[in-house]
């Protein structure tokens, strides 16, 4: 497999993922990955989104667990310390402190919510004003997120397509504007293969057209499974590396201590 890292793993602390952390790591070793990274859903203040994330008093234990497992598996695989940190516009100070609090290897920026109280999900089928308004609100939030400096790469770029409304032609200028903002901010994008596990979507987040544009623009890319169970590690990595090769992608990003490096995406012959 030419993709060497999978940086998007959850743990039971987020209340909607299953299996011990060791099982994710061992699956990564079995797949031949060089690096596996945990990036569980971050705590938020005031009980926002509390049913799908760790509690505030669990963050330090989460970090300690990842660092302990890094030592335990050293020599077999590099275990990276990440966080999937939801962007919520009115708590930037809180998020900035979270980003500075631990020796993260990377922080993944997610827009799951479109309102401060975290009630309006970006994947909900119903949105006031319809699907284009949903995409507009979502991408506006993402453009604010990437200029904070708190984030290394963006999660599941076109998540609203999970609502059953794929991006239409009217959404294309919003996508372009957002890709330009990401490029300008020096932030990367993940190709999140959980889309292959979501109903009949049958493509990653983002889909091939956006991936192609991101490659043309030189936006740093990584491929991640967004695993919520150990057997999801490396979801569709073989197909994705073939797609990337077909689209002319020559390198992928890896992260350590919030620094980015690139490694060549090897092309297999024949």
Q: In angstroms, what is the minimal distance from the CB of 265 to Zn ion?
A: 23
Q: In angstroms, what is the minimal distance from the CB of 10 to Zn ion?
A: 5
List CB contacts of 72: < 8 A, sequence separation 6 or more.
none
Q: In angstroms, what is the minimal distance from the CB of 24 to Zn ion?
A: 13
Q: In angstroms, what is the minimal distance from the CB of 16 to Zn ion?
A: 6
Task: Map tokens 């980015």 to a residue.
Answer: 260
Residue 86 within binding range of Zn ion, rule CB under 5 A: no
63: number of Cβ within 10 Å: 17
List CB contacts of 75: < 8 A, sequence separation 6 or more.
none
Is 65 or 226 the residue whose CB approaches Zn ion more closely?
226
Which stretch in 30-38, 146-154, 161-169, 218-226 sits in contact with Zn ion by CB under 5 A?
218-226
Residue 40 within binding range of Zn ion, rule CB under 5 A: no
Measured from each CB, the residue nearest to Zn ion is 226
Is 84 or 105 the residue whose CB approaches Zn ion more closely?
84
Is 158 or 226 the residue whose CB approaches Zn ion more closely?
226
Residue 226 within binding range of Zn ion, rule CB under 5 A: yes
69 and 75 Cβ atoms separated by less than 8 Å: no
Is 50 or 247 the residue whose CB approaches Zn ion more closely?
50
Which stretch in 18-26, 98-106, 221-229, 230-238 sits in contact with Zn ion by CB under 5 A?
221-229
Is 170 or 221 the residue whose CB approaches Zn ion more closely?
221
Is 124 or 245 the residue whose CB approaches Zn ion more closely?
124
How far is residue 28's CA from residue 104's CA, in Å, rounded to a whole number? Answer: 20
How would DSSP label each residue in the chain?
A: ----EEEEE--GGGSS--S-HHHHHHHHHHTT-SEEEE-PBPP-GGGTTGGGS--GGGHHHHHHHHHHHHHHTTTT-EEEEEEEEE--GGGHHHHHHHHHHS--SEEEEE--BSSTTS-SBTT-S--TT-HHHHHHHHHHHHHHHHTTS--SEESSTTGGGGGT----GGGHHHHHHHHHHHHHHT-EEEEEGGGGGSTT--S-BSPHHHHHHHHHHT--EEEE--BSSGGGTTTTHHHHHHHHHHTT--EEEEEETTEEEEEE-PPPP-
Which stretch in 58-66, 203-211, 223-231, 244-252 sits in contact with Zn ion by CB under 5 A?
223-231
Q: In angstroms, what is the minimal distance from the CB of 220 to Zn ion?
A: 19
Q: In angstroms, what is the minimal distance from the CB of 111 to Zn ion?
A: 12
Q: In angstroms, what is the minimal distance from the CB of 184 to Zn ion?
A: 25
Is 20 or 184 the residue whose CB approaches Zn ion more closely?
20
Is 108 or 114 the residue whose CB approaches Zn ion more closely?
108
Which stretch in 30-38, 82-90, 117-125, 175-183 sits in contact with Zn ion by CB under 5 A?
82-90
The contact set with Zn ion (CB under 5 A) reads 84, 226
């Amino acid at each position: 497999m030419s993709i060497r890292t999978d940086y998007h793993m959850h743990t039971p602390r987020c209340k909607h993922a299953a299996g011990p952390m060791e099982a994710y790591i061992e699956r990564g070793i079995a797949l031949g990955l060089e690096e596996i990274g945990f990036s569980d859903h971050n705590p938020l203040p005031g009980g926002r989104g509390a049913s799908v994330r760790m509690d505030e008093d669990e963050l330090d234990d989460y970090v300690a667990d990842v660092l302990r497992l890094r030592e335990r598996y050293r020599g077999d695989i590099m275990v990276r310390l990440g966080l999937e940190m939801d962007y919520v516009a009115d708590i930037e100070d809180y998020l900035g402190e979270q980003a500075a609090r631990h020796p993260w290897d990377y922080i993944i920026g997610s827009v799951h919510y479109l309102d401060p109280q975290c009630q309006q999900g970006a994947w909900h089928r119903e949105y006031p004003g319809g699907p284009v308004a949903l995409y507009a609100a979502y991408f506006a939030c993402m453009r604010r997120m990437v200029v904070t400096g708190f984030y290394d790469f963006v999660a599941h770029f076109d998540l609203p397509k999970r609502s059953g409304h794929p991006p239409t032609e009217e959404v294309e200028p919003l996508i372009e504007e957002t890709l330009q903002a990401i490029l300008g901010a020096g932030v990367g994008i993940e190709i999140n293969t959980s889309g292959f596990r979501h109903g009949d979507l049958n493509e990653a987040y983002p889909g091939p057209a956006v991936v192609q544009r991101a490659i043309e623009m030189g936006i740093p890319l990584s491929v991640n499974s967004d695993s919520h169970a150990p057997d999801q590690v490396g979801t569709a990595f073989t197909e994705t590396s073939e797609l990337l090769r077909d689209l002319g992608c020559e390198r992928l990003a890896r992260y350590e201590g919030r620094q980015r490096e690139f490694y060549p995406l090897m092309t297999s012959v024949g």
